[in-house]
A and B are shown apart, each in its own frame.
Chain A
Amino acid sequence: MNGPIIEFARVNKWFGKFHVLQDIDLAVGRGERIVVCGPSGSGKSTLIRCINRLEEHQEGRIVVDGVELTEDLRSVERVRREVGMVFQQFNLFPHLRVLENVALAPICVLKLPRKEAEARATQQLARVRIGDQAKKYPGQLSGGQQQRVAIARALCLQPKIMLFDEPTSALDPEMVKEVLDVMLELATQGMTMVVVTHEMGFARSVADRVLFMDQGRIVEQNPPAEFFANPRNERTRDFLAKVLPR
């Protein structure tokens, strides 16, 4: 199929009176890697949470893999099978073991038998190189390990798109690399990714396009070389000055 895999057309969203997303137009192609950055409160988390309908937009159209996101619950279910999400706070289920965490969705959503679901889960855990921790509980793992399990959990439904909402912001510095390495591998395997992050090194090496958002608008978007070398907008320059190391 041709055409962009994610499409935003004049999307607007309000939280009460607060206009959090203003006239967002965005097209993400298959296999494209997008990094979204910006100051806090700029709407970047809200943007990607609209893609799997964790937040609902009030105006405009969002189309994901040919399915338009509307009030229709069936469309939402179909989209959520194609989109995997990784959260800043990992959000693993602490009362289930690692293997059960990852196998839960195939059992409940895809209605696979337990053995097959666990086989898939083991495969994904091996993919993020954490297969030896399968019998442990999330509370026994370090932050970096937990986030990798979260990535495996999202991958288990074999989604076409992966969303990352500040995946390394809650990690101690020495664990950031292991998670970024996994994300890098995913990227080289051709996964479509939309990543909200402050890790500019990752943006430079992996992204096809970097988006800068401020106060609900996409202010600037460019391939990373352009973006970092010649930021065109005043606000982008300000932001980069604060965020990039001297």
Chain B
Amino acid sequence: MGRAGETRVRGPLFSWSTRSGRARIAQAVLLAALFAAGAWLWNNTRANLAARQIHSGFGFLREPAGFAIGEGLVPYSPTDSYLWAFAAGVGNTLRVAACGIALATFLGIIVGVGRLSRNALVRWLCTGYVEVLRNVPLIVQLFAWYLAATEILPEAASPVELAPHVYLSKEGLQFPTPVWARGWGFALAGLGLGILCALALSRWARGRRERTGRRPRGLWLGLLAAAALPIAGWVAGGAPRALDVPEVTAFNVSGGTGVTPEFLALLIGLATFTSAYIAEIVRSGILAVPHGQTEAAEALGLSRHQVLRLVVFPQALRVIIPPLTSQFLNLTKNSSLAVAIGFPDLVSIANTAINQNGQALECIVLIMSVYLTINLATALAMGVYNRRAALVER
């Protein structure tokens, strides 16, 4: 009988007979195997690169790119470096992803709620929308939209006028934008300030209501602030009214700001495809809230509006947000299909770069790092949200 409290004698480190010993042996073997495989691949790569006389290393990023990029947020010319070209690509990816996410969420919520409608026609149309868009591959849809944009739309000389001075043609969508002046800068600042004021006001109003039971008009005051401050800023800056308006000329539409047909096709294709998945997520989120919740809330005397706002939506949101974020990431990844229709996103530009200088390994590593960073950032944000929103359980 051993004395109580003494530590057990440890066996040999790599013994087969203890659980931890076996674990160490297994891990040592696994490490050796991974190492061996990695070394073999590395050797092969070095030999192949040398045989094809391809340089390695990321030095090429400093050299001039030498190819043009059709559109983008950042100014770019072919004499700029490869690094700047990649940055332009990332900018384009984020641009189409952000617009796509906004549009897809908007459409998805409408269609998702529509699938639960009492009206049979609305239900069938929404179901048809979801089933058709989910069962045809995205790239097929993108090709169709792109060809429609470039073949069916009229020539730039005689565009379709969607709204006064908003023109749609083979060259894309062109719309008026204000000429940048101080007043617009002030207006933007006012908007930011107004939103902050609105948030602060609503928090104050909620606190006031909880303390005294009376409801001050917090919501309306907030909206008023959010609307009034930007206008005040605009006026303060001299009330600039100059607009850059597109006009139809003999050959095309000039002036204003435009988006290319590639961007339009990619945006509409991505947004409609993803909205079908978002519609399903919204629908199952709402259905996931047990009907007993609605019944109990109504039995307490809450109005239908209050039942939705206070009981159904918070619980539905918990179920909806994680897969929704996953769809946002999918949309961002799917934007890489731009390479098929010629929109200069990150993958498209990397493809051009690879074809030019042959440094496939480095370019692919760059692409993957960008996507993995976006993924990681979203995963971290989701983690924070999940911790805050999780239902507290025993």
Which residues of A does B touch, CB under 8 Å? 9-10, 23, 59-61, 70-74
Contacts and interface: CB of A to CB of B under 8 A. Distances in A.
B26 to A, nearest CB: 13
A59 B19 CA distance: 17
A9 B11 contact: no
A73 to B, nearest CB: 5
Nearest to A70: B8
Contacts, number: 28
B77 interface: no
A5 to B, nearest CB: 15
A61 B5 CA distance: 9
Interface string B1-21: 110110010010000011111
Nearest to B6: A59
Contacts of A60: 4-5
Interface of B: 1-2, 4-5, 8, 11, 17-22
What does DSSP make chain A's interface, helix, strand, loop or mixed? strand
A129 to B, nearest CB: 39
B353 to A, nearest CB: 52
Contacts of A70: 8, 18
Nearest to A60: B4
Contact of B5 (A59, A71, A73): A59
Contacts of A71: 8, 11, 18-21
B15 to A, nearest CB: 8
Contacts of B4: 9-10, 23, 59-60
A27 to B, nearest CB: 11
A72 B2 contact: no
A72 B17 contact: yes
B318 to A, nearest CB: 28
A73 B20 contact: no
Contacts of A72: 11, 17-18
Given A70-B8, A73-B22, A61 B1 contact: yes
Contact of B17 (A23, A61, A73): A73
18 contacts: A9-B2, A10-B4, A23-B4, A59-B4, A60-B4, A60-B5, A71-B8, A71-B11, A71-B18, A71-B19, A71-B20, A71-B21, A72-B17, A72-B18, A73-B17, A73-B18, A73-B19, A74-B17
